Amino acid sequence: MSFRAGHLVTTVNDSKERLAELTRQCLPVMLPLYHGISLLCPSYLQLLQKRDATAVCDEDEPDRIARGGGEVGWGERMTIYEAYARVYDRSGQIGFALKMLPYLDEVLARHAFIGDSAVDVACGSGTLALGLAQRGWRVYGVDASPAMLAQARHKAAELDQPAAVTWLQADMRDFSLPQAVDLATSTYDSLNYLLTLDDLCRAFRCVARALRVGGLFVFDMNAEPAFLRQWHDATYFIEDQDLAIVIKSTYDDEARRATATITGFVRQGELYERFQETHTEGAYSRAEVAAGLEASGFQVVASYACFTFDVADDDSPRILWVARKAPVWEERRA
């Protein structure tokens, strides 16, 4: 997740007054929620009913469910990409996948890659997966968050042009596909959500197993310059007509972990529902990512400063990796 791009984003490091003013404006409508009084308000009941409807819809989904444990909060109870999922696209985050799609076209053309089946790993609200499907790919969209997948399914159902995407709820460290695909993608620093090198390699191995030999894995990751320059000690504010989100983030360079607390207020009738989620990302050096890929059955083809074709270097905040599944992987498994 990046907090830099997007027309809805305003940094408030230099504008604390603005935040104070907004808080003052919102406070009268937020207070009832804080005190629970609004539980009796019809609009809040409506919200609860909507939540039940979503849960029923998820249970009805026939897709495979495979959840792993680990450090990222995907366990008995989902702790991130829950309430945030409902506003993810309209808070401006959809912009990343929309920007990635034409860049991905160029990356595939530059590497003369042709295929017709793909998996988008950590597909989130499905924008990239749906974009690939509209380009003629048969696509699997894999994500651990039921709420993000619910958004993806909803978006797919709204499209004029049908898109061939099969949604799978699964942990990216522990998923498998019914059949091997030509292309794997994972975008918007989703892989940074894996907090140990071991977990990152588990995901790489899963992706390798999901690909045919010679298949391409294209993904981006945040590198340390992003955490130092964009995440450390930063506060961002996102505002829409019925939405206000404050993101406060920090980076621990010893632990090499970045943490963002996302606090949102989403208008529901006359009131605002408040949610809060804490997201943590891990930093990996280019050498670690390259070694992890090679140990997991890939050959590194290229690493670019994301959204360009300049070779990535120590100063690149976001890196776009292109890796090919090596034939040796099949031999190792045999």
Ligand X SMILES: C[S@@+](CC[C@H](N)C(=O)[O-])C[C@H]1O[C@@H](n2cnc3c(N)ncnc32)[C@H](O)[C@@H]1O
Neighbours of 118 (CB within 10 A): 27
Sign of CA dihedral 307, 230, 148, 90: negative
Residue closer to ligand X, measured from CB, 190 or 268: 190
Annotate 291-320 with DSSP letters as a single string: HHHHHTTEEEEEEEETTS-SBP-TT-SEEE
Neighbours of 197 (CB within 10 A): 15
Instruction: Find the binder of ligand X among 187, 222, 230, 303 (CB under 6 A).
Output: 187
Quick one: which segment of 10-18, 170-178, 254-262, 280-288 binds ligand X (CB under 6 A)?
170-178
Do β-strands 257-268 and 271-282 pair in parallel, antiparallel, or remain unpaired? antiparallel
Quick one: which segment of 7-15, 110-118, 183-191, 300-308 binds ligand X (CB under 6 A)?
183-191
Rounded Cα distance between 58 and 52, Å, is 10
Site membership for ligand X, residue 141 (CB under 6 A):
no
CA distances for 93 relative to 23, 202, 319, angstroms: 23, 27, 18
Which distant-in-sequence residues (6+ apart) come within 8 Å of 224 by Cβ? 253, 256, 283, 285
Site membership for ligand X, residue 148 (CB under 6 A):
yes
Smallest distance, Å, CB 217 to ligand X?
14
Quick one: which segment of 52-60, 182-190, 256-264, 315-323 binds ligand X (CB under 6 A)?
182-190
Residue 199 burial by Cβ neighbours in a 10 Å radius (0-12, 13-18, 19+): buried
Smallest distance, Å, CB 333 to ligand X?
22
Quick one: which segment of 30-38, 58-66, 167-175, 309-317 binds ligand X (CB under 6 A)?
167-175
* Touching ligand X, residues 94-133 (CB under 6 A): 96-97, 122-124, 127-128
Quick one: which segment of 140-148, 154-162, 236-244, 322-330 binds ligand X (CB under 6 A)?
140-148
Site membership for ligand X, residue 81 (CB under 6 A):
yes
Which distant-in-sequence residues (6+ apart) come within 8 Å of 209 by Cβ? 176, 333
Residue closer to ligand X, measured from CB, 190 or 303: 190
Residues that bind ligand X (CB under 6 A): 1, 72, 74, 81, 93, 96-97, 122-124, 127-128, 143-145, 148, 171-173, 187-188, 190, 193
